[in-house]
Copies of this chain bind each other. A is one copy, B any other.
Amino acid sequence: MFKIGDFSRIARVSCRLLRYYDERGLLKPAIVDRESGYRFYGAAQLPQLNRILVLKELGLTLDQIGRAISKTVSADELRAMLLIRRSDVEQALAAEAERLRLIETRISQIESTGQLSADDVLIRSEPARSVLTARQTVRSFAEARGAIQQLIASVPRQTPQHALGPVIAIAHSTEFEPDSIDLEFGFALNDGLARTGLSVGGIDLTVHELPIVKHMAVCVRIGLPEHAHVVTAKIGQFVEDNGYVLAGPSREVFLHAPQPDRMDIAVIEMQYPVESVR
């Protein structure tokens, strides 16, 4: 019989841990003195404790350990628990490795440029989303802006206000041709709007669903359109530095509806689908 202090020294764990495991029902002392509350541990408790510590090293929670050491658990159940744990650890491992890559990229950025650039570009996943859009080939951005202004002026009058989300523009051109831009533009929709389309001023809008994008590099730009290429460059740099490649049409989401007279307060999120090339 060991008192808790001796037992903790032998097992090299804290008394607190032993009391906690007692409380959790993981490892009960062989004897607890009725009146003093003193815990006494027998020699047989030691391999039991070691078993718990081993399972803890595998990363199981105390709840899982409790199940794993209960008499009723079968080898198969234990195996199933470990299989789950394995895939969790594999995921965690991949996440840590990715994190390490990100950190190293940032470090070398600082070392080469003297500061942390592109520190507001981030990758996130975009859910699928319904949009009400038209797709046209326009000859200039000015023409595109005009068409978008027209939509903003007309569509809200013909569509329930609460259903309309932010204005969105999608660049489908795979190569840059200054006088032939394949552009989709319109409104994101907040919920499953029943109507399937509408037409304003010769522009036909249809409802369809934008696919989910698992890895979207996003960066917000604020102010005049001239600022766009700065942000584009930032995203480009980020994408290159972090071993991604562009993978699909980019989007611009107008978080503030664009007002022609106040383009300096435009808030636009630029979104570029990317894929990791390892």
* A interface with B by C-beta (< 8 Å): 10, 12, 43-44, 46-48, 50-51, 53-55, 57-59, 75, 78-79, 82-83, 85-86, 89-90, 92-93, 96-97, 99-100, 102-104, 106-107, 110-111, 114-116, 119-122, 124, 218-220, 222, 255-256, 265, 267, 269
The minimal Cβ–Cβ distance linking A86 to chain B, given in whole angstroms, is 5
**Is there contact, CB below 8 Å, between A75 and B116?**
yes
A267 to B53, CA, bound (A): 19
The minimal Cβ–Cβ distance linking A46 to chain B, given in whole angstroms, is 5
**Is there contact, CB below 8 Å, between A120 and B43?**
no
A114 to B111, CA, bound (A): 54
**Is there contact, CB below 8 Å, between A104 and B78?**
no
List the B residue with the shortest CB-CB distance to A221.
B47
**Is there contact, CB below 8 Å, between A79 and B111?**
yes
The minimal Cβ–Cβ distance linking A165 to chain B, given in whole angstroms, is 9
Between-chain CB contacts (< 8 Å), 25 pairs? A43-B222, A46-B222, A46-B269, A47-B219, A47-B220, A47-B222, A50-B218, A50-B219, A54-B121, A57-B122, A58-B99, A58-B103, A75-B110, A75-B114, A75-B115, A75-B116, A78-B110, A79-B107, A82-B103, A85-B103, A89-B96, A89-B99, A89-B100, A93-B96, A96-B96
A256 to B10, CA, bound (A): 10
List the B residue with the shortest CB-CB distance to A85.
B103
| Known pairs A51-B119, A78-B116, A82-B110 / 20 extra A-B pairs, C-beta < 8 Å | A43-B220, A43-B265, A46-B220, A46-B255, A46-B267, A46-B269, A47-B219, A47-B220, A50-B218, A57-B99, A57-B102, A57-B122, A59-B103, A78-B110, A79-B110, A79-B111, A82-B106, A86-B100, A89-B103, A93-B93
Of B43, B82, B267, which one neighbours A256 at CB under 8 angstroms? B43
* Residues of the B chain whose Cβ atoms lie less than 8 Å from the Cβ of A115: 75
* Residues of the B chain whose Cβ atoms lie less than 8 Å from the Cβ of A104: 86
The minimal Cβ–Cβ distance linking A213 to chain B, given in whole angstroms, is 13
**Is there contact, CB below 8 Å, between A12 and B58?**
no
A91 to B116, CA, bound (A): 24
The minimal Cβ–Cβ distance linking A205 to chain B, given in whole angstroms, is 23
A97 to B256, CA, bound (A): 46
**Is there contact, CB below 8 Å, between A10 and B255?**
yes
**Is there contact, CB below 8 Å, between A90 and B100?**
yes
* Residues of the B chain whose Cβ atoms lie less than 8 Å from the Cβ of A85: 103
A265 to B53, CA, bound (A): 23
**Is there contact, CB below 8 Å, between B86 and A107?**
yes
